[in-house]
Amino acid sequence: MFVGLKQRAGSGDAVRRRNKIKRFTASDAVLLFILAVFAILILYPFYNALLVSIVPNTVYLRNQSLMIIPPKISLDAYNFTFKSSLIWIGYRNSLLITVFGVIYNMLLTVLCAYPMTKSFPGRKFVRFFIVFTIYFSGGLIPYYLLIKDLHLMDSLAVMVLPTGLNIMFMLIICQYFQSLPSSLEESAKIDGAGDFTVLLRIILPLSLPLLATFTLYYAVDRWNEWYNAMLFVKTVEKWPLQNVLRTIINDIQFMATQNIPGQQRPDVQGDAIKMSSIIVSMVPMMCLYPFLQRYFLSGLTLGAVKE
Q: Does 99 bind another protein (CB under 8 A)?
A: no
Q: Does 140 bind another protein (CB under 8 A)?
A: yes
Q: Does 87 bind another protein (CB under 8 A)?
A: no
Q: Does 68 bind another protein (CB under 8 A)?
A: no
| Binding segment toward another protein, per CB under 8 A, in 34-42, 80-88, 181-189, 252-260 | 34-42
Residues 252 and 36: their CA atoms lie apart, in Å, by: 35
Closest CA to 248 of 229, 266, 270: 270
Burial (CB count within 10 angstroms: exposed 0-12, middle 13-18, buried 19+), residue 307: exposed
Q: Does 19 bind another protein (CB under 8 A)?
A: no
| Binding segment toward another protein, per CB under 8 A, in 78-86, 178-186, 257-265, 293-301 | 293-301
Map the footprint of another protein across residues 199-238, applying CB under 8 A: 199, 220, 224, 226-227, 231
Nearer to another protein, 96 or 130 (CB): 130
The amino acid at residue 282 is: M
| Binding segment toward another protein, per CB under 8 A, in 45-53, 72-80, 202-210, 253-261 | 45-53
Helices 85-113, 241-250: crossing angle, 10 deg rounding? 140
Q: Does 130 bind another protein (CB under 8 A)?
A: yes
Least Å from the CB of residue 73 to another protein: 18
Q: Which of 134, 261, 263, 291 binds another protein (CB under 8 A)?
A: 134
Q: Which of 166, 228, 242, 259 binds another protein (CB under 8 A)?
A: 242
Q: Does 178 bind another protein (CB under 8 A)?
A: no
Residues 168 and 300: their CA atoms lie apart, in Å, by: 8
Q: How far is CA 128 from the centre of its chain?
A: 28
Q: Does 57 bind another protein (CB under 8 A)?
A: no
Helices 270-291, 76-83: crossing angle, 10 deg rounding? 80
Residues 303 and 30: their CA atoms lie apart, in Å, by: 35
Q: Does 290 bind another protein (CB under 8 A)?
A: yes
Would you list the DSSP string of 9-31?
Answer: --SS-HHHHHHSPPP--HHHHHH
Q: How many residues bind another protein (CB under 8 A)?
A: 105
Q: Which of 37, 82, 129, 154 binds another protein (CB under 8 A)?
A: 129
Residues 253 and 248: their CA atoms lie apart, in Å, by: 8
